[in-house]
């Protein structure tokens, strides 16, 4: 993978810019169970609505080095998490691991992200996706037990606080399974088929594991609704999008903004807001009615039938289809007053819940069969009130989960780092000497000769060894990571010495990590996690 050196300053310690993919990478296709890499991370912003993390970075207190270096490159709705972090309000972090093999340095990215968020004050959850491993990958329960222990030991060794956080297996968590059952009522086969490509040959248990993962994502909110971030690779984004949809569908009430008794879509609502802002100035205290808004949107301010003369105001350039539909709705509403209000829709509340909401809304309000219009609440206040009433009435009140996305690590042999290709990755269980040897044997972004390297500089952005520095070996030391990068691209650093230094650092890391794993073994044995499954081996 490379970055565009013309458009990205050297000062930005980006591991790569996603311009190209490792050889053999697919086009953008987000498959949670596939083995593809993402050929252009920038396309994720355009095609899937993932936002660039650098835009929210200034709002994050004490950002992790993976954030600072652009390894964490994207997010969905991370701002509520960052705000809760700053304001010392409740929030959570959760991610999971499918125990299909040894944990390796690629998995360490997620371990580090969970631990950092926990250290910033979040409630932390780490889960073993054993139901998914069994149904989607066909692992036996004995294999799952063995790998689960290894993942948990590494997570604990890297700093996860088990006393403050929660670790669990999907198969042993009854609360999780009950939540999955409820979420399953809101999902259907056609939807899973469209998102994941399921067909008539897909196992029902595989489909069931998807709903279980949705429950995992929302599990931290069972005690109380709160912002929750899920650190994942971009291939897991389909799970995040579905979980956000299901979180919304589980809500008792929907809150939106309106200007009359009829309902408008987003494009129409934007036009209504623009019309109101203009008309409230033109009206000079007169009552604004829907017919006035229709006249304005259809013909401009000159056509508005107020008694006093008004200066000409042009209608802005807008979507003609949205304007036509908004005008039609306004004309049908006629002389109804046109004024902003916050609208509460009854999505799935009980009769008692709907009545409780009516009673909770203070100030002017109008009650209809399926919704309530409140005139003295802004959108944020209304959202908080709806959630409070829902929780009081026995609902979940879910906050849509957030997510952050990290880049895939390039395999040491090129292509994607994969558990199934031992030479491509360094296992956290590897003998330190083997880790040393793998780094020494890794491909690099160096030139054909030392002379050419000194003249042209190395291509750090194409180098799996430089990624080791940026993702792991430099740790929190940005200056060291930048030094390695600058010396490489400046031709001062040759690949032999660079790999030797990286190999030594990797050896030291593995030695230290495995010592901490041994120390964590006693702690793991004391935790309430069953790592000896009594399920039948099928």
Model confidence over 16-33: pLDDT tens digits?
222 223 333 334 444 443
Q: Tell me, yes or no, whether 325 and 463 share the same domain.
A: no
- Residue 33 falls inside a structural domain: no
Which backbone phi and psi does 89 adopt, to 5 degrees? -105, 165
What's the whole-model pTM score?
0.85
Q: Tell me, yes or no, whether 76 and 198 share the same domain.
A: yes
What pLDDT, on a 0 to 100 scale, did the predictor assign at position 12? 33
Residues 6 or more apart whose Cβ sits within 8 Å of residue 225 = 387, 391, 396, 397, 398, 399
- Residue 534 falls inside a structural domain: no
What tens digit of pLDDT does each residue of 371-393 get?
A: 999 999 999 999 999 999 999 99
Select the highest-mean-pLDDT range: 13-17, 86-90, 464-468.
86-90
| Residue the block writes with tokens 């000497």 | 433
Of 349, 374, 364, 400, which is closest to residue 79 (Cα–Cα)?
Answer: 400
Q: Tell me, yes or no, whether 180 and 272 share the same domain.
A: no
What tens digit of pLDDT does each residue of 144-155 get?
A: 999 999 999 999
pLDDT band at 420 (very low <50, low <70, confident <90, very high): low
Residue 134, domain extent: 41-250+399-406
H helix or E strand, kind and range, residue 101: none
pLDDT band at 503 (very low <50, low <70, confident <90, very high): very high
- Answer whether 159's CB lies under 8 Å from 201's CB: no
Q: Tell me, yes or no, whether 65 and 159 share the same domain.
A: yes
Q: Tell me, yes or no, whether 261 and 367 share the same domain.
A: yes
- Residue 186 falls inside a structural domain: yes
- Residue 82 falls inside a structural domain: yes
Residue 313 has pLDDT above 50, yes or no: no
- 396 against 452, higher pLDDT: 396
Out of 372, 406, 440, a domain closes at 406
Q: How many domains does the chain have?
A: 3
- Answer whether 235's CB lies under 8 Å from 359's CB: no
What pLDDT, on a 0 to 100 scale, did the predictor assign at position 49? 85
Q: Tell me, yes or no, whether 221 and 348 share the same domain.
A: no
User: For residues 512 and 432, what is the distance between their CA atoms, to the nearest angstrom?
Assistant: 9
Task: State how beta strands 228-232 and 371-374 pair.
Answer: unpaired
70-79, 314-323, 376-385, 408-417: segment of lowest average pLDDT = 314-323
Average pLDDT of the segment spanning 400-411: 92
59-68, 114-123, 449-458, 500-509: segment of lowest average pLDDT = 449-458
Q: Tell me, yes or no, whether 93 and 214 share the same domain.
A: yes
Which backbone phi and psi does 80 adopt, to 5 degrees? -60, -35
Q: Tell me, yes or no, whether 303 and 342 share the same domain.
A: yes
Across the chain, mean pLDDT equals 87
- Residue 535 falls inside a structural domain: no
Q: Tell me, yes or no, whether 96 and 234 share the same domain.
A: yes
Residue 533 zone, left/alpha/beta (φ > 0; ψ -120 to 50; rest)? beta
Average pLDDT of the segment spanning 417-435: 86
What pLDDT, on a 0 to 100 scale, did the predictor assign at position 269? 93
Q: Tell me, yes or no, whether 371 and 274 share the same domain.
A: yes
Q: Tell me, yes or no, whether 308 and 450 share the same domain.
A: no
User: For residues 496 and 157, what is the distance between their CA atoms, to the nearest angstrom?
Assistant: 31
Residues 6 or more apart whose Cβ sits within 8 Å of residue 179 = 215, 218, 219, 222
Task: Report residue 239 as tokens.
Answer: 């799970």
Out of 354, 370, 392, a domain closes at 392
Q: Tell me, yes or no, whether 382 and 506 share the same domain.
A: no
Of 57, 127, 55, which is closest to residue 85 (Cα–Cα)?
Answer: 57
- Residue 154 falls inside a structural domain: yes
Query: What residue ranges in 206-316 does DSSP mark as E strands?
Result: 228-232, 253-258
Task: Report residue 212 as tokens.
Answer: 């279980």
What pLDDT, on a 0 to 100 scale, did the predictor assign at position 304? 64
pLDDT band at 68 (very low <50, low <70, confident <90, very high): very high
213-222, 372-381, 450-459, 508-517: segment of lowest average pLDDT = 450-459
- Residue 486 falls inside a structural domain: yes
Sheet bearing 371-374, strands edge to edge: 253-258, 341-346, 371-374, 365-367
CATH of the domain at 117: 3.40.50.620
What pLDDT, on a 0 to 100 scale, did the predictor assign at position 311? 42
What tens digit of pLDDT does each residue of 192-216 get?
A: 999 888 888 888 998 899 999 999 9
CATH of the domain at 475: 1.10.240.10
- Residue 524 falls inside a structural domain: no
| Residue the block writes with tokens 């400046």 | 490
User: For residues 538 and 536, what is the distance between their CA atoms, to the nearest angstrom?
Assistant: 6
30-44, 152-166, 272-286: segment of lowest average pLDDT = 30-44
């Amino acid at each position: 993978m490379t970055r565009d050196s013309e458009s990205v300053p050297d000062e930005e310690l980006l591991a790569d810019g996603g311009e190209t993919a490792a050889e053999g990478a697919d086009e953008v296709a987000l498959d949670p169970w596939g083995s593809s890499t993402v050929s252009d991370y920038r396309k994720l912003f355009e095609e899937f609505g993932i936002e660039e993390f650098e835009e929210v970075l200034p709002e994050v207190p004490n950002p992790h080095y993976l954030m600072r270096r652009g390894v964490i490159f994207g997010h969905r709705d991370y701002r509520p998490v960052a705000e809760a972090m700053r304001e010392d309000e409740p929030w959570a972090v959760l991610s999971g691991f499918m125990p299909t093999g040894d944990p390796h340095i690629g998995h360490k990215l997620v371990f580090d992200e969970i631990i950092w968020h926990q250290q910033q004050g979040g409630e932390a959850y780490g889960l073993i996706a054993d139901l998914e491993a069994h149904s989607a990958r066909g692992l036996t329960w004995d294999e799952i037990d063995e790998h689960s222990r290894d993942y948990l030991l590494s997570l604990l060794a890297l700093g996860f606080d088990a006393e403050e956080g929660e670790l669990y297996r999907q198969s042993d968590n009854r609360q999780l399974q009950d939540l999955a059952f409820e979420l399953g009522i809101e999902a259907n086969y056609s939807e899973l088929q469209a998102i994941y490509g399921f067909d008539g040959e897909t196992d029902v248990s595989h489909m069931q594991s998807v709903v279980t993962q949705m429950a995992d994502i929302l599990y931290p909110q069972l005690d109380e609704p709160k912002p929750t971030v899920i650190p994942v690779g971009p291939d897991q984004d389909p799970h995040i999008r579905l979980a956000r949809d299901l979180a919304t569908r589980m809500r008792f009430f929907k809150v939106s903004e309106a200007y009359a008794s009829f309902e408008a879509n987003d494009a129409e609502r934007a036009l209504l807001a623009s019309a109101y802002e203009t008309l409230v100035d033109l009206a000079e205290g007169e009552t604004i009615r829907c017919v006035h808004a229709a006249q304005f949107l259809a013909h401009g301010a000159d056509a508005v039938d107020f008694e006093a003369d008004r200066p000409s105001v042009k209608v802005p350039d807008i979507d003609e289809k949205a304007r036509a539909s908004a005008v039609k709705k306004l004309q049908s509403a006629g002389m109804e007053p046109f004024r902003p209000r916050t609208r509460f829709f009854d999505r799935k509340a009980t009769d008692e819940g709907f009545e409780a909401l009516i009673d909770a809304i203070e100030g002017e309000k109008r009650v209809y069969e399926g919704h309530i219009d409140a005139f003295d609440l802004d959108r944020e206040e209304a959202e908080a009130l709806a959630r409070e009433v829902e929780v009081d009435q026995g609902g979940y009140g879910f906050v849509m989960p957030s997510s952050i996305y990290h880049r895939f690590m390039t395999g040491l042999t090129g292509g994607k780092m994969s558990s199934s290709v031992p030479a491509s990755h360094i296992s956290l269980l590897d003998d330190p000497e083997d880790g040393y040897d793998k780094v020494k044997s890794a491909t690099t972004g160096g030139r054909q000769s030392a002379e050419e390297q000194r003249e042209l500089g190395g291509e750090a952005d194409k180098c799996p060894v430089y990624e080791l520095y940026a993702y792991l070996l430099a740790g929190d030391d940005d200056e060291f990571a930048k030094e390695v990068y600058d010396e490489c691209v400046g031709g001062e650093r040759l690949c032999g010495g660079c790999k030797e230094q990286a190999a030594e650092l990797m050896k030291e890391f593995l030695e230290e990590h495995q010592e901490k794993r041994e120390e964590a073994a006693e702690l793991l044995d004391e935790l309430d996690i069953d790592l000896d499954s009594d399920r039948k081996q099928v």
